[in-house]
Amino acid sequence: MADMSLVKAGIVWAMPVRPDLLGDRLEAYAKSLPVLQALRLCHRFGTGSQVHVTKLPTEILLSVEDIVLHHHRNGWKRYDWSDAFAHFESRCEPMEHIHDPYDLIYDIRCEYRDQLCETCQAEDGEEECDQDCDSIVHQKANECLASDGFEWRYGVCETQRDKWLTAINQHPGKNFAKYDEILRKHFGLCAHFSTTRVALEDPKAWPSDPKHDWHMEDELQTTICYLTLPTQMTAKKTFGLSEIELHGGGASIPGTRSSLVHLPTLHQREERVKQFKHALRTLKLEPYVHLSQLNDVVGKGTETADPMQGNEIEKAKVHAKMKKDLEKGEWPQLVMLVNTNYEW
């Protein structure tokens, strides 16, 4: 296939959320729907002297719905959204990729016996460990698995990463399509997923995790997720190479897009805010801003600190404050979403 650059863009009313929590909460909501719909129908149309649910105030009805949703949120799930997302973001370690770690742990305890406390060396089950030897053994086991290079990453990790991409696939008939239908039908909203790698300018601004140490820095990636109004994004445009560029070994591919933006009236904005608040309350979601997106505030009237200036501690404080301020701010907001992908 010829080299090509794909660009898709749009400006929408949106609010950022954690993609794994959105998937988890929508799965729970889908399981709750038969009960919720029966409850709402009985509350609205129930007849007979024994149908007392019709007399319940709306506030009590919503509390009952919360109990039903809470039960399904904390019950068995067909899919572990958070675990797959953790692997996708490289928030995992070698020990999480083996199915039976017990033999390895036993071998490590024997090999590094002299580094354990006297209680653990004596294997006295009646006494408590003096120095958290389990952490020492766990770290040595990780180092042992990682010493063979990065072969440990494949298998469980790659499978979970593939599962994550499958889980958020929004194409018709794919896994997330049914949740898109629920979002649109019950909340009047859509989900927008976009995968991004760490930018060359952002390694220090990327959310840190101790388990990243077991991965290469250029592997870091995440999925950005927004709840949006069902506004049509601009059609995808493909910018390809000419035959001369394709065979010449180098190219510069220009591309320009422009879109008109129709700002809503005050009344329209209030109605849209209600839609998002209803979704947040029902699905128990909160605004979540990924650190890689902090710098992209267009048209802000006041000056803010440059998160790339200062030492590492100062940068971390600036990042934390910017993230908190954005998440506690007013949502939804007009957000410019741009997806780019280079294929070769």
Between 130 and 87, the more confident residue is 87
Q: Is the pLDDT of residue 1 over 50?
A: no
Measured CA to CA, the distance from residue 288 to residue 328 in angstroms comes to 9
Is 301 part of any domain? no
pLDDT of residue 302: 42
Q: Is the pLDDT of residue 298 over 50?
A: no
DSSP of 176-242, one letter per residue?
THHHHHHIIIIIS-EEEEEEEEPPTT-TTTSPP-GGGGGS-GGG-EEEEEEEE-SPPPPPPEEEE--
pLDDT of residue 181: 95
Its domain, for residue 79, covers 4-93+153-295+308-343
Between 325 and 121, the more confident residue is 325
Is 303 part of any domain? no
Q: Average pLDDT, stretch 246-275?
A: 70
Between 55 and 229, the more confident residue is 229
Q: Is the pLDDT of residue 303 over 50?
A: no
Is 112 part of any domain? no
pTM, entire model: 0.79
pLDDT band of 88, cuts 50, 70, 90: very high
pLDDT of residue 287: 94
Q: Is the pLDDT of residue 241 over 80?
A: no
pLDDT of residue 109: 82
Is 111 part of any domain? no
Show the tokens assigned to 127.
């006494």
Is 139 part of any domain? no
Between 4 and 11, the more confident residue is 11
Q: What is the DSSP letter of 53?
A: G
Measured CA to CA, the distance from residue 168 to residue 118 in angstroms comes to 50
List, in sequence order, the alpha helices (H) in 10-80: 19-45, 58-73
Q: Which position has the token pair 């009646």?
A: 126
Is 332 part of any domain? yes
Residues with Cβ within 8 Å of residue 64, at least 6 apart in sequence: 39, 56
Q: Is the peptide bond before 19 cis (omega within 30 degrees of 0)?
A: no
> Tell me, what amino acid is at 241?
L
Indicate the number of domains in the chain: 1
On whether the CB atoms of residues 17 and 276 are closer than 8 A, the answer is no
pLDDT of residue 27: 93
Is 16 part of any domain? yes
How many angstroms separate the Cα of 105 from the Cα of each of 109, 134, 141, 153? Answer: 6, 9, 7, 19
Instruction: Encode 31-64: b = buried (16+ Cβ within 10 Å), e = exposed.
Output: bbeeebeebeebbeeeeeeeeebeeeeeeebeee
Between 253 and 193, the more confident residue is 193
Is 190 part of any domain? yes
On whether the CB atoms of residues 24 and 164 are closer than 8 A, the answer is no
Measured CA to CA, the distance from residue 95 to residue 93 in angstroms comes to 6
Show the tokens assigned to 175.
């896994």
Distance of CA 152 to the CA centre of its chain: 24
Q: Average pLDDT, stretch 190-205?
A: 81
The top-scoring range by mean pLDDT among 91-105, 166-180, 315-329 is 166-180
> Tell me, what amino acid is at 244?
I
Between 338 and 226, the more confident residue is 226
Q: What Rg, from alpha-carbon coordinates, does the chain have?
A: 25
pLDDT of residue 39: 80
Q: Which position has the token pair 């899919």?
A: 79
Q: Could you read off the pLDDT of 7-62 as tens digits, one per residue?
A: 677 778 899 999 999 999 999 999 998 888 888 888 777 777 777 777 778 888 88
